[in-house]
Amino acid sequence: MTLYPAFVSLLFAACSLAQAPKPQDPAPDPQKVLDEVKQQFTKEGIVFDAKAQTVAVKATVNHPQDPIEYLLIYKKGKRHEAVFITTSKPSVLNAALLMLGLQPGKNASYVEKNPPPSLEEIEKGADPIVVTPPQGMPFWMTVRWQSPEGQAVEHCVEDMVLDLGTQQALAGCRWVYLGGRMAKIYKNDPEVYIADLEGNLISICYLSPDNHLATMVHENARDDQNWWTTTLLPPPDTEVEFVFHRVQPPLHVERELRLKKAAEAAAKAAKPTDAGK
List, for residues 243-274, the tens digit of each pLDDT value.
Answer: 999 999 999 999 999 999 998 998 888 887 65
Lowest mean pLDDT among 18-22, 25-29, 203-207, 268-272: 18-22
Please report the pLDDT score of residue 36 as a whole number: 84
User: How many CB atoms are closer than 10 A to CB 159?
Assistant: 18
By DSSP bridging, strand 82-86 and strand 54-61 are: antiparallel
Q: What is the pLDDT of residues 125-151, one digit of tens each?
A: 788 888 999 999 999 999 999 998 999
Taking all residues of the chain, what is their mean pLDDT, rounded to a whole number? 89
Which is nearest to 141 in space by CA: 176, 99, 178, 89?
176
CB 112 within 8 A of CB 57: no
Angle at CA 218, nearest 5°, toward 54 and 101? 25
What pLDDT shows up at residue 227? 98
CB 229, CB 161: distance < 8 Å: yes
Backbone angles phi, psi at 99, to 5 degrees: -65, -30
Question: How far apart, in whole angstroms, are the C-alpha atoms of residue 275 and residue 117?
Answer: 46
User: Of 244, 14, 253, whose CA–CA distance to 139 is shortest?
Assistant: 244
pLDDT at 276: 54
Q: Could you tell me which residues come within 8 angstroms of residue 94 by beta carbon, excluding any fewer than 6 positions away? A: 14, 179, 180, 193, 195, 213
Q: CA angle at residue 55 from 54 to 60, to 5 degrees?
A: 125
Cβ atoms of residues 73 and 96 within 8 Å: no
Preceding omega of 115 cis (within 30 degrees of 0): yes
- Find out whether the peptide bond into 209 is cis, omega within 30 degrees of 0: yes
Question: What DSSP line would sit under 204-232, residue for residue?
Answer: SS--SS--SSEEEE-TTTT-TTSEEE-TT
pLDDT per position as a tens digit, 214-247: 999 999 999 999 999 999 999 999 999 999 999 9
Q: Name the nearest CA neighbour of 157 among 81, 70, 98.
A: 70
